[in-house]
């Protein structure tokens, strides 16, 4: 096993300095000093791919509505998605709800404390398992997220491509070796906090860093360029046309059945083509006339980019949309249903139109 200059003396010096810095500088966040595994778990789910500042108001709203696991287990999925609206990666919310229901039914409402049981719950991957079990149950499991990966690459001047599976395993090994088993939860939060506040992307604040003397990347003058990642692929683009249809103070929307954004609501849409109006007429089983004014929205997912043309439409016959999940909704109902971030400007525009009519 490659050692990367990691002897026990260096590892214990690293832990001491890191934890002492964390004790003095950590941000005061509602999930810290929290012993309820449910709340710790929620915070970890919300923080995946998401900055603390973004997640914070969502966490507070969520906990104020669902202060206990038992209360959440009884929640409607639509309401949970509404509370998640704008936070993205909605599968996290659906899986969390499913897992919480499993805990309520199978484990009497107590979040399990073994890797086998907790790791077997819906949506619980390696990161969530290590984070929750270390913070809530003090188990010696190291987390590796983007912040940890960046800190470790710089600390050991690792210049290999960290997106490769082999390197991901190596990161996990190093993280586990460095972990302080006497304070695993604090240690994990400390290294993530260092990555979020000091060892930040592009321009690390080495002059404020508690472990600067141990840092090989800083010594070699290459810290800012690490970690090395393979170039981002150009995302494929999908173009859609979505129509806004209003009738009797209501607007037509559809609940998505697709895996992407499952359970969120959208406006009737088809893939943009030369025959978009024909396609929309066919979807709604009635001739649809599209207005000339169109506005464009774009949204980037991790694997693809949506470009959506939003257009007002009119119909002459009775709308009988194909498939299920369609509803004519009022302004008030639109307030309650969850829409993806990309459609938020349309929701606001439609609500204004309905109110002004
Ligand atoms: Fe990161 Fe700089 Fe600290 Fe190294 S010295 S861990 S590069 S902030």
146-192: per-residue pLDDT in tens?
999 999 999 999 999 988 899 999 999 999 999 999 999 999 999 99
Q: For residues 18 and 151, what is the distance between their CA atoms, to the nearest angstrom? A: 12
Residue 305 phi/psi, 5-degree rounding, is: -120, 135
Instruction: Indicate which atom in ligand 1 lies nearest the CA of residue 215.
Output: 4
The residue contributing the CA closest to ligand 1 atom 5 is 212
Expressed in angstroms and rounded, the spacing between residue 9 Cα and the centre of ligand 1 is 19
93 and 44 belong to one structural domain: yes
Beta strand 305-315 with 288-300 is antiparallel
Boundary of a domain, candidates 225, 255, 274: 225
Q: Cα(350) to centroid of ligand 1, in Å? A: 49
Q: Among the options 34, 44, 193, 300, which is catalytic?
A: 44
Residues 157 and 24 in one domain: yes
* Buried/exposed 144-181: b ≥16 CB within 10 Å, e otherwise: bbebbbbbbbbbbbbeeebeeeebeebbbbbbeebbbe
Boundary (domain end) residue, out of 204, 225, 246: 225
* Distance, CA of 109 to CA of 102 (rounded, Å): 9
For residues 218 and 241, membership in a common domain is answered with no
Ligand 1 centroid to residue 165 C-alpha, Å:
24
pLDDT in tens, 23-82: 999 999 999 989 999 999 999 999 998 999 999 999 999 999 999 999 999 999 999 999
79 Cα to the center of ligand 1, angstroms: 42
Give the span between the Cα atoms of 338 and 261, in whole angstroms.
10
Q: What's the confidence (pLDDT) of residue 5?
A: 65
44 noted as active-site residue:
yes
Residues 206 and 245 in one domain: no
- The model's pTM: 0.89
The domain that contains 347 carries what CATH number? 3.90.79.10
**pLDDT for 180-228, tens place per residue?**
999 999 999 999 999 999 999 999 999 999 999 999 999 999 999 999 9
Burial of 103 (0-12, 13-18, 19+ CB in 10 A): buried
Residues 190 and 259 in one domain: no
How far is the C-alpha of 120 from the C-alpha of 112, rounded, in Å? 10
Average pLDDT estimate for 285-311? 93
Mean pLDDT of 287-305: 92
Range of the domain at 250: 237-356
Nearest C-alpha to atom 2 of ligand 1 is from which residue? 206
Strand partners, 307: 239, 298
- Among 193, 225, 257, the domain-final residue is 225
Locate 67 and state its tokens: 């202060």
Residues with CB under 6 Å of ligand 1 are: 151, 154-155, 198-199, 204-206, 209, 211-212, 215, 217-218, 223
Same domain, 184 and 144: yes
For residue 34, the domain's CATH number is: 1.10.340.30
> How many folded domains does the chain comprise?
2
The per-residue pLDDT for range 5-24, each reduced to its tens digit, is 667 777 788 999 999 999 99
Residues 166 and 17 in one domain: yes
């Amino acid at each position: 096993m490659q050692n990367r200059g990691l002897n026990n003396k260096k590892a214990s010096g690293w832990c001491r300095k890191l934890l002492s810095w964390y004790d003095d500088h950590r941000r005061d966040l509602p999930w810290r000093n929290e012993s309820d595994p449910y709340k710790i778990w929620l915070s970890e789910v919300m923080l995946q791919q998401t900055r603390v500042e973004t997640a914070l108001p969502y966490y507070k709203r969520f906990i104020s509505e669902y202060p206990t696991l038992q209360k959440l287990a009884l929640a409607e999925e639509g309401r949970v998605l509404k509370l998640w609206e704008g936070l993205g990666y909605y599968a996290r919310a659906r899986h969390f709800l499913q897992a919480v229901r499993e805990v309520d039914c199978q484990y009497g409402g107590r979040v399990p404390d073994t890797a086998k049981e907790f790791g077997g719950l819906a949506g619980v991957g390696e990161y969530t398992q290590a984070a929750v079990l270390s913070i809530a149950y003090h188990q010696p499991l190291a987390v590796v997220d983007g912040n940890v990966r960046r800190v470790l690459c710089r600390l050991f001047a690792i210049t290999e491509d960290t997106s490769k599976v082999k390197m991901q395993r190596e990161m996990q090994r190093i993280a586990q070796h460095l972990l302080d088993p006497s304070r695993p939860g604090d240690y994990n939060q400390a290294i993530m906090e260092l990555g979020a506040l000091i060892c930040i992307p592009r321009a690390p604040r080495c002059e404020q860093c508690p472990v600067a003397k141990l840092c090989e990347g800083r010594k070699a003058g290459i810290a800012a360029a690490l970690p090395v990642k393979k170039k981002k692929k150009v995302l494929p683009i999908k173009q859609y046309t979505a129509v806004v249809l209003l009738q009797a103070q209501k607007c037509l929307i559809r609940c998505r059945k697709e895996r992407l954004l499952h359970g969120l609501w959208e406006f009737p849409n088809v893939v943009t083509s030369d025959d978009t109006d024909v396609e929309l007429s066919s979807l709604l089983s009635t001739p649809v006339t599209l207005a000339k004014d169109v506005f464009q929205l774009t949204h980037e997912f991790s694997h693809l980019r949506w470009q959506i043309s939003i257009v007002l439409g009119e119909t002459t016959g009775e709308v009988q949309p194909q498939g299920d999940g369609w509803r004519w909704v009022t302004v008030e109902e639109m307030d309650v249903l969850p829409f993806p971030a990309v459609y938020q400007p349309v929701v606001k525009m439609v609500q204004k139109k309905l109110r002004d009519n």
